[in-house]
Amino acid sequence: RRHKKFMAHDENNEAREGDIVQIRESRPLSARKRWTLHKIVERSK
């Protein structure tokens, strides 16, 4: 499996659909959201 969909908190709304990002585990922010955006590895084309 090359990818998986995660609900991640993006506080500054930086990431766009198709971007490759790194996420970090955090405290639960909602019923399904337990990850936060760490950095954007590669922008989508």
pLDDT digit string, tens, across residues 3-34: 788 999 999 999 999 999 999 999 999 999 99
Instruction: Indicate whether 1 pLDDT > 90.
Output: no
Mean pLDDT, range 27-42, rounded to an integer: 97
Q: Are 15 and 38 in contact (CB under 8 A)?
A: no
- Alpha carbons 44 and 19: distance in angstroms, whole number: 5
Residue 1 or residue 22, greater confidence: 22
Q: What is the pLDDT of residue 31?
A: 96
Confidence of residue 2 (pLDDT cuts 50, 70, 90): confident
Torsion of CA 7, 35, 5, 13, to 10 degrees: 60
Q: Are 39 and 8 in contact (CB under 8 A)?
A: no
The domain ranges of the chain are 8-42
Q: Are 32 and 7 in contact (CB under 8 A)?
A: yes
